[in-house]
């Protein structure tokens, strides 16, 4: 099929939520490269939105999935599963959390974490429903997670929203202090606001959340769906911010392209759910566990995360130098391989993204005018140099 034929069928038969997509179909991946149906090669700076962390040539990953297809893909959570418990053990020992629940997506994992927070207070005989989240945050598209998302554009058609979410300005400790009370069930925060234009949370703010949650008996939940599983150069982004959340939510890179989400809990929060309180047919199935187990082993047993930290620092340095030479860039920010370049209002990030695609670079935008870079962890400095040269040409 030509790309125009695909686009026509998409317009006719697919729910129109994605509008007109970029006119490319990727049909093959190799290392950090994607190839379209005409054979054109692109360097991937998006990794399926922070998901394909190992790139496209990890033979061990493919083998783990093929072996599972060849033996048994799915049973049910009625039965024990060795690969599921191996993954659970590996995730908990690598992160210091006590237990894990496996879901199918980021939104489903956040939903589970929100339920866990409410159940935690309910079980203590003092139900609390208020969850504090950040203005500009993004937590998913289900009814609860879109209500958790601190962006009004996601709310309009879905009022009345599920109660009760309060949105505070990120990195404003005074506003947070005023908002957290003895009615707060939990504070939910992304260590770096991802869809919300790559805003890193400061260590002081992250620690203030912990302090206020402890003071008021609330739970701290980190949405590490984008930052987690190595994207910032450490398995989780939270420890470097100097506080340990009670619950951490994962997805995206956890499966390296296979759909899987998870929440990890520790302490009393880990004991809040009892049999029957939560569940999932597909969550934690053999395919998802085989994928995620391989990823966790790879991230914890090789030096790939130090590579992420090194190459991420190099990338940020190159973006910062480009900004110094290029008035079209207003700001550069992020950590590890989760980086953004905010452009001045007169230059459209959307247009630059399209021009980069023509030039063979897959990138994304965030918010109004931020170019977003989320490459696979196996990206090398020469790929980054090539992107910076292309950006320099386009922005001059």
Cα–chain center distance at 189: 12
Site for ligand PLP in 260-319 (CB under 6 A): none
Residue with tokens 């209002």: 345
Classify burial at 129, counting beta carbons within 10 Å of its beta carbon; exposed 0-12, middle 13-18, buried 19 or more.
Answer: middle
3 state SS of 290: helix
CB of 139 to ligand PLP, least distance (A): 5
Nearer Cβ to ligand PLP, position 225 or 343? Answer: 225
**Residue 200 touching ligand PLP (CB under 6 A):** no
Nearer Cβ to ligand PLP, position 51 or 68? Answer: 51
Nearer Cβ to ligand PLP, position 46 or 395? Answer: 46
- Within 10 Å of residue 309's Cβ, how many Cβ atoms? 16
Q: Which two tokens stand for residue 326?
A: 């290029």
Instruction: Provide the terminal-to-terminal Cα distance of the chain, rounded to the nearest Å.
Output: 37
Residue with tokens 């394909």: 52
CB of 225 to ligand PLP, least distance (A): 4
Site string for ligand PLP, 94-113 (x = CB under 6 A): -----------xxx--x---
- Within 10 Å of residue 315's Cβ, how many Cβ atoms? 25
CB of 367 to ligand PLP, least distance (A): 13
CB of 108 to ligand PLP, least distance (A): 7
CB of 216 to ligand PLP, least distance (A): 24
Nearer Cβ to ligand PLP, position 188 or 322? Answer: 188
- Residue 249 sits at φ, ψ, to 5 deg, of -110, 135
**Residue 195 touching ligand PLP (CB under 6 A):** yes
Site string for ligand PLP, 133-172 (x = CB under 6 A): -----xxx--------------------------------
| One residue of 251, 319, 337, 378 binding ligand PLP per CB under 6 A | 251
- Provide the pairing of β-strand 219-223 with 247-250: parallel
Q: Number of H helices and number of E strands within the chain?
A: 12, 17
Type and span of the H or E element at 382:
helix 381-395
Nearer Cβ to ligand PLP, position 108 or 246? Answer: 108
C-alpha distances (whole Å) from 359 to each of 3, 166, 218, 354, 355 are 18, 43, 49, 9, 6
d(CA 372, CA 359): 16
Nearer Cβ to ligand PLP, position 55 or 255? Answer: 255
Nearer Cβ to ligand PLP, position 209 or 391? Answer: 209
Type and span of the H or E element at 314:
helix 304-325
Nearer Cβ to ligand PLP, position 107 or 326? Answer: 107
| One residue of 52, 226, 232, 365 binding ligand PLP per CB under 6 A | 226
Classify burial at 349, counting beta carbons within 10 Å of its beta carbon; exposed 0-12, middle 13-18, buried 19 or more.
Answer: buried
Residue nearest to ligand PLP (CB): 106
**For residues 350 and 344, is the Cβ–Cβ distance under 8 A?**
no
CB of 106 to ligand PLP, least distance (A): 2
**Residue 245 touching ligand PLP (CB under 6 A):** no
| One residue of 190, 221, 332, 377 binding ligand PLP per CB under 6 A | 190
Rule CB under 6 A: which residues touch ligand PLP? 105-107, 110, 138-140, 190, 194-195, 223, 225-226, 251
């Amino acid at each position: 099929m030509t790309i125009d034929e695909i686009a026509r069928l998409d317009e006719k038969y697919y729910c129109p939520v994605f509008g007109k997509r970029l006119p490319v179909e990727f049909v093959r991946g190799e290392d950090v490269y994607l190839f379209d149906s005409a054979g054109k090669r692109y360097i991937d700076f998006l990794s399926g939105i922070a998901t394909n962390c190992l790139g496209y040539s990890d033979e061990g990953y493919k083998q783990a999935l093929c072996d599972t297809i060849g033996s048994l893909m799915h049973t049910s959570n009625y039965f024990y599963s060795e690969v599921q418990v191996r993954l659970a053990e590996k995730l908990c020992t690598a992160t210091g959390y006590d237990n894990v629940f496996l879901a199918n997506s980021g939104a489903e994992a956040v939903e589970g974490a929100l339920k866990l927070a409410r159940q935690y207070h309910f079980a203590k005989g003092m139900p609390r429903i208020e969850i504090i989240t950040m203005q500009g945050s993004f937590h998913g598209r289900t009814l609860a997670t879109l209500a958790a998302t601190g962006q009004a554009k996601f709310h309009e058609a879905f009022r009345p929203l599920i109660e009760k979410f309060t949105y505070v300005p990120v990195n404003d400790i005074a506003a947070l202090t005023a908002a957290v009370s003895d009615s707060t069930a939990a504070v939910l925060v992304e260590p770096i606001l991802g869809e919300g234009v790559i805003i890193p949370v400061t260590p002081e703010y992250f620690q203030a959340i912990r302090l206020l949650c402890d003071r008021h008996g609330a739970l701290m939940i980190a949405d590490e769906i984008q930052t987690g599983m190595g994207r910032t150069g450490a398995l989780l982004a939270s420890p470097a911010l100097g506080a340990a959340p009670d619950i951490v939510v994962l997805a995206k890179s956890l499966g390296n392209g296979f759909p899987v989400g998870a929440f990890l809990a520790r302490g009393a929060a880990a004991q809040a759910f009892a049999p029957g309180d939560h569940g999932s047919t597909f969550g934690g199935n053999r395919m998802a566990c085989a994928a995620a187990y391989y990823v966790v082993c790879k991230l914890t047993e090789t030096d790939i995360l130090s590579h992420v930290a090194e190459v991420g620092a190099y990338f940020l340095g190159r973006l910062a130098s480009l900004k110094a030479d290029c008035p079209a860039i207003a700001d550069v920010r992020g950590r590890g391989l989760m980086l953004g370049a905010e452009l001045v209002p007169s230059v459209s990030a959307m247009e630059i993204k399209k021009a980069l695609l023509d030039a063979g670079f897959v990138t994304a935008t965030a918010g109004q005018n931020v170019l977003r870079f989320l490459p696979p962890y196996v990206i090398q400095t020469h790929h980054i140099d090539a992107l910076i040269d292309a950006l320099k040409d386009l922005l001059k």
